[in-house]
A = this chain, B = another copy of it.
Amino acid sequence: MYVEKKKHYEARAKILKALAHPSRLFIVEELQKDERCVCDLTDMIGADMSTVSKHLAVLKQAGIVTDDKRGNQVFYRLRVPCILNFFGCVESVLESQVKEHAEALAGLGKESF
């Protein structure tokens, strides 16, 4: 039953929620390449630094990234290397939507004449 495993699902939902924002997805993809400081990410995203800093705090608190202060700057990197695989599935949801849409259009063509 659900109630027994509720904690289980809540923990997982928290992580997904932390990922579920366009800017945070961008950050994760960037960090896949290499670590980045807040200023770099801020430039790339084009939002207020305070906003980016909060996004990073969300990712950090979810256990997705760690930070590392060096001098003046704070560098963030992924704590877990697998996030990429992770997106294979998201992609396939998107692809199946495209496919279905194409089929719907094809079907439309067939039926309309």
Contact = CB atoms under 8 A, between A and B. Distances in A.
Interface of A: 1-3, 5-6, 9-17, 19-26, 44-46, 62-64, 79-80, 82-83, 85-94, 96-97
A42 to B, nearest CB: 10
5 contacts: A13-B20, A13-B25, A20-B20, A63-B94, A86-B89
Given A79-B96, A80-B92, A93-B80, A23 B1 contact: no
Given A2-B44, A6-B22, A10-B22, A15 B90 contact: yes
A23 B8 CA distance: 11
Closest 8 CB pairs of A and B: A9-B22, A16-B20, A17-B20, A86-B89, A82-B89, A63-B97, A9-B25, A13-B22
A26 to B, nearest CB: 5
Given A1-B44, A26-B5, A11 B82 contact: no
